[in-house]
Chains A and B, each alone.
Chain A
Amino acid sequence: EAGVVQSPRYKIIEKKQPVAFWCNPISGHNTLYWYLQNLGQGPELLIRYENEEAVDDSQLPKDRFSAERLKGVDSTLKIQPAELGDSAVYLCASSTGGELFFGEGSRLTVL
Chain B
Amino acid sequence: GQNIDQPTEMTATEGAIVQINCTYQTSGFNGLFWYQQHAGEAPTFLSYNVLDGLEEKGRFSSFLSRSKGYSYLLLKELQMKDSASYLCAVRRGSYIPTFGRGTSLIVHP
* Chain A residues at the B interface, C-beta cutoff of 8 Å: 4, 31, 35, 40-45, 48, 50, 56, 91, 95, 97-105
Contact = CB atoms under 8 A, between A and B. Distances in A.
B44 interface: yes
A31 B99 CA distance: 17
Query: Interface residues of B: mostly helix, strand, loop or mixed?
Result: strand
What interface size band does chain B fall in? 20 to 34
B29 interface: no
Given A42-B87, A48-B95, A48-B96, A100 B101 contact: no
A95 B35 CA distance: 14
A43 B48 contact: no
A104 B99 contact: no
22 contacts: A4-B42, A31-B95, A35-B99, A40-B102, A40-B104, A41-B101, A41-B102, A42-B99, A42-B102, A43-B43, A43-B99, A44-B99, A48-B95, A50-B95, A56-B96, A91-B43, A95-B95, A97-B95, A98-B48, A99-B45, A100-B97, A101-B45
Interface string B82-109: 0000010100001111111110100000
Contacts of B102: 40-42
Max chain A C-beta neighbours (<10 A), residue from B42, B95, B104: B42
A104 B40 CA distance: 8
B98 A45 contact: yes
B33 A99 contact: yes
A15 to B, nearest CB: 24
A35 B43 CA distance: 11
Nearest to A91: B42
Nearest to A3: B42
B96 A45 contact: yes
Nearest to A105: B42
Interface in B13-47: 33, 41-45
Given A43-B99, A104-B41, 7 more contacts: A4-B42, A41-B101, A42-B100, A44-B99, A97-B95, A100-B43, A101-B45
